[in-house]
Amino acid sequence: MRDLQKSGRIGRIEVDNESKEGVSGGVIKIPSSLTRKETALLAATVESVSRVGPCEAEIILVEIRDVRETKRKKIIERAAELLKKWDQNSLEPSEIEEKMDADIKLGEIISWGPEKLPAGPDVESNRELIIVEGRADVLNLLRIDVKNTISVQGTQIPKSIIDLAKTKNSIIAFLDGDRGGTIILKELKQLMKIDYIARAPEGYEVEELTRKQMIKSLQNKKSSVDKEEEDSSERKYKGRDANLKKFLKGTKLKHHDEIIEEIKNVPSGQGLGYSKNMEKLFEIPVGELFDKIKEYKNTQILILDGILTKRLLSSALSMKLKLIACKNKEEELTIPYQIVVFYF
C-alpha cells in the first residue's frame, strides 16, 4: 500500500471512526487510480484483513464507486443545460425582425388616465376609439399601426374610459372571441354607446392574432345594433321615461323633467345629490355615500347608480330626503312612507 501511495496509484486514505461501549467502528475511503481489475483486487485484499494492531477486525466492502463516471454524468447534464439555454436565446432572422418590431411598438405604448391604462399614443387625438381587453391587445394592434386603442383591464369598466368615449365620434369594441369578451361587451353596452363590434375568431384572443387576422376582424366589424333592436330599445326607453314622469307627478316634487334627465345620465357607480331646487350638491362614488352624505344637509333628492342599502336608507330618513332613484334595493328592505323610492 505504501509503495502504491508513493507512486500515486493510491491517494490519501481517510478513516472516520468512533468508539462505543468499547467497540470501535468506522468507514475507510481509499481513492484509487488503478485499473478496474487492480482496484477490485485491492478491495478484496483489504477485505481479507482480520486484525488491526493487537485487535481483531472485520472489514466489509460497502461499494466501489467510479468517480470519473459520476463526473462525466454531471458534465453531460451541465452541457445539455447550457445547450438548452443557448437554443432559447438564439433567434432566427425572422424572429429577430419580429422582436425588433415588438420593441419599437413597446416604446409607443402609453399609460393613460388616473388608472394608468395601457393605450396607444393617439388615444386622445383620434376621433375614433378602439376599446380592447388587455395590454397585450394594445401592443398587438400597434404592430399594424393602430394607435387609437385603450384597454379596459378587466370586466369593471373604468369611469375615465366612459368619459373619454363621450368625446369621440365613433367607438369600436374589439374583443376576444370567448365568453370573457362577451361579458365585457355587455358591460360596455350598458355604460356607453358602442358604434361597431369587432371580435377575434371563436376561441382566439386579440393578443394572439396575426397581422392578417387583425385587419380582417376590423374590416368585418358589425354595427352594434340593427335597426329593429334600435327601434325596440328606443320604445323601451321612452316607455320608461313616461312611467317615471307619471310616477313623479304623483309626488309633491317639482322639476320632473330635470330629475328624469339626471337619472338618464347618472355616471357609472356614482351617487348624485340635489337640493329641492335641483341644485347639484355632490357627486360621490356609491361605496362612499354612507360616510359622506351627512355632510350635505340640504340634500332632498338622491340619484345613485347602485343598490339602496339599509344603512343608506337610514341616513336618508334622518336627513328627511324626499326622493331616492336607484337601480334596486337590498332584499327584504322595507321602504317607509316618509320617502319616495324609484327603481330604474
For 274-324, the pLDDT digits (tens) are 998 899 999 999 889 999 999 999 999 999 988 899 999 999 999 999 899
Find the mean pLDDT for residues 138-159.
90
Q: Work out the pLDDT band at 129, boundaries 50, 70, 90.
A: very high
Under 8 Å between Cβ of 194 and 184? no
pLDDT at 226 over 80: no
User: Which pLDDT does position 179 carry in this prediction?
Assistant: 84
pLDDT at 3 over 70: yes
Q: Tell me the average pLDDT of the chain.
A: 84
Q: Work out the pLDDT band at 148, boundaries 50, 70, 90.
A: very high
What residue ranges do the domains of the chain occupy? 1-90, 95-224, 251-343
Distance from C-alpha of 119 to C-alpha of 53, rounded to nearest angstrom: 86
Q: Work out the pLDDT band at 243, boundaries 50, 70, 90.
A: low
Tell me the CATH architecture of domain 95-224.
3-Layer(aba) Sandwich (3.40)
Backbone angles phi, psi at 65, to 5 degrees: -110, 130
User: Which pLDDT does position 154 carry in this prediction?
Assistant: 82
| Fold for the domain defined by 251-343 | Cytidine Deaminase; domain 2 (3.40.140)
Find the mean pLDDT for residues 217-242.
62
User: Which pLDDT does position 254 carry in this prediction?
Assistant: 74
Backbone angles phi, psi at 93, to 5 degrees: -50, -40
User: Which pLDDT does position 66 carry in this prediction?
Assistant: 80
Instruction: Tell the burial category of 189 from Cβ atoms under 10 Å away from its Cβ (0-12, 13-18, 19+).
Output: middle
pLDDT at 14 over 90: no
As a dihedral over the C-alpha atoms of residue 148, residue 153, residue 156, residue 158, rounded to 10 degrees, the angle is -50
User: Which pLDDT does position 89 carry in this prediction?
Assistant: 63
Find the mean pLDDT for residues 213-235.
70
Beta strands in the chain (DSSP E): 14-20, 23-29, 51-52, 55-56, 110-112, 117-119, 128-132, 149-151, 170-175, 196-199, 222-223, 270-274, 280-285, 301-308, 323-329, 340-343
Of the chain, the end-to-end C-alpha distance in Å amounts to: 100
Distance from C-alpha of 242 to C-alpha of 257, rounded to nearest angstrom: 10
pLDDT at 100 over 70: no
User: Which pLDDT does position 227 carry in this prediction?
Assistant: 46
Q: What percent of the chain has pLDDT over 70?
A: 86
DSSP for 217-254 reads: HHHT-EESS-HHHHHHHHHHHHHHHHHHHHHHHTSS--
Locate 276 and state its grid cell.
329641492
Listed residue (297, 302, 299, 267) closest to 285, CA to CA: 267
Q: Work out the pLDDT band at 333, boundaries 50, 70, 90.
A: confident
